[in-house]
Amino acid sequence: MVTELNRRALAMLRAVGAGRAELTCSCEPDLRVDGLPCCDQATAHALARAGLIQPAHVVAVGQWARAELTADGREALGEARAAA
């Protein structure tokens, strides 16, 4: 689980919140931003496992779906913005 969000994780959350990211439908979803694979898939997996990001809709396993922030993801991003 993600306990503290580093700058890269926050940048990923901002990209998802801006509608610029996609996730694969799998138990360890991969993330791409602006059509490019994310350089830190371990953090992408951790954000998904922590329930901060999720696919916007259900697709077949291995297919890409637009990523969205969950309520917890929006809260984590809001808290980070307030602390900055």
Structural domains of the chain ordered from first start = 7-83 (1.10.10)
- CA 55/CA 58 separation, integer angstroms: 7
Residue written as token pair 């490019």: 36
* pLDDT-derived band at 11, boundaries 50, 70, 90: very high
Whole-angstrom Cα distance, residue 2 to residue 44? 10
Q: Which residue has the higher pLDDT, 46 or 80?
A: 46
Q: Could you read off the pLDDT of 60-72 as tens digits, one per residue? A: 999 999 999 999 9
Question: What's the rounded mean pLDDT across residues 4-21?
Answer: 95
